[in-house]
Copies of this chain bind each other. A is one copy, B any other.
Amino acid sequence: MKKKAAIPEHDYLRTHKRFPSVWCPGCGIGTVLGAIIRAVQALNLSKDEVALLSGIGCTGRMPVYVDFNTMHTTHGRALAFATGLKLARPDMEIIVVMGDGDALAIGGNHFIHAARRNVELTAIVVNNRIYGMTGGQVSPTTPTGERGLTAPFGQIEQAFDIARMAEAAGASFVARSTTYHAMELDRLIARGIEKRGFSVIEVLTQCPVSYGELNQAGDAVEMLKWFRDNTTPVGDRAAPGKIPRGVLVDRELPGYVETYQKLIASARKRARA
């Protein structure tokens, strides 16, 4: 796999023995990985200065494939690990990729607290609206009425609006896109990385197997078409029922690590005085 020029993404992949990936045919997680790589490239970041952390799930398997500093943590806690790492290494760009269950079920608390502290991390939620890895149980983002292994009669709970939660909790930057909009996705991720403070990018992603099969949503192609047809750029008033894509929140709030460094500086000054 040394044909480097051909596909620049390959430069970033751990091609040796790791491919093809464990993901099912048509699974969109790999598409998100591609977008992350392109964002990193676009920002001219070196592989050494990037860390990619994940929790547990199909999404959690992502870091293994890419040649950054990578860590597959525990289920739901990736943002807490990342907070520690970022405080130790403020110079590194830390991207945290999580499934919807990982980020918002078991990990919901770390999600809102990372947002509240506005830690300078880029959190990417691969929202396939299901627990892929464990076979298709409903997640906190499964739309009401949809089926899952644990909702044979249809989900009776409301779904979280990830973006609203992130905003209410205090994130600096919140965006949404889909795997169909892969070309816009890498730009949003790049903006998230660039943003001071906590950035959240929700990516609607097809899980043709665990979600698709239980919900007769068709194969990967059908699911991508659904993303294409049911989302629209933010502010598009012509399509009121559709899911908005793009930057939903972008505001200036002090980042945690930056503030902490100021605290260190002033505490030291005071200690000397």
Interface residues, chain A, CB within 8 Å of chain B?
105-106, 108-109, 112-113, 116-118, 140, 153, 156-161, 164-165, 167-170, 253, 256, 259-260, 263, 266-267
Are B157 and A168 touching (Cβ within 8 A)?
A: no
Are A167 and B170 touching (Cβ within 8 A)?
A: no
Measured in the bound complex, the distance between the Cα atoms of B112 and A97 in whole Å is 21
Are B164 and A168 touching (Cβ within 8 A)?
A: yes
Q: How far is the CB of A232 from chain B (nearest CB, A)?
A: 22
* Copies held by the complex: 2
Are A153 and B117 touching (Cβ within 8 A)?
A: no
Q: How far is the CB of A178 from chain B (nearest CB, A)?
A: 22
Are A108 and B113 touching (Cβ within 8 A)?
A: yes
Partner of A256, one of B113, B157, B256: B157
Are B167 and A168 touching (Cβ within 8 A)?
A: yes
24 interchain pairs, CB-CB under 8 A: A108-B108, A108-B109, A112-B112, A112-B160, A112-B165, A113-B140, A116-B140, A116-B158, A117-B157, A118-B158, A153-B263, A153-B266, A153-B267, A156-B263, A158-B170, A158-B253, A160-B169, A161-B168, A165-B165, A165-B168, A165-B169, A167-B168, A168-B168, A168-B169
Mostly, the A contact residues are helix
Q: How far is the CB of A262 from chain B (nearest CB, A)?
A: 8
Measured in the bound complex, the distance between the Cα atoms of B144 and A170 in whole Å is 13
Taking CB atoms, residues of chain B closer than 8 Å to A106 are: 109
**Chain B residue with Cβ nearest A141:** B116
**Chain B residue with Cβ nearest A166:** B168
Measured in the bound complex, the distance between the Cα atoms of B161 and A118 in whole Å is 14
- Other CB < 8 Å A-B pairs besides A105-B113, A108-B113, A117-B157, 17 of them? A108-B109, A108-B112, A109-B109, A112-B112, A112-B160, A112-B165, A113-B140, A116-B159, A116-B160, A156-B256, A156-B260, A156-B263, A160-B169, A165-B165, A165-B168, A167-B168, A168-B169
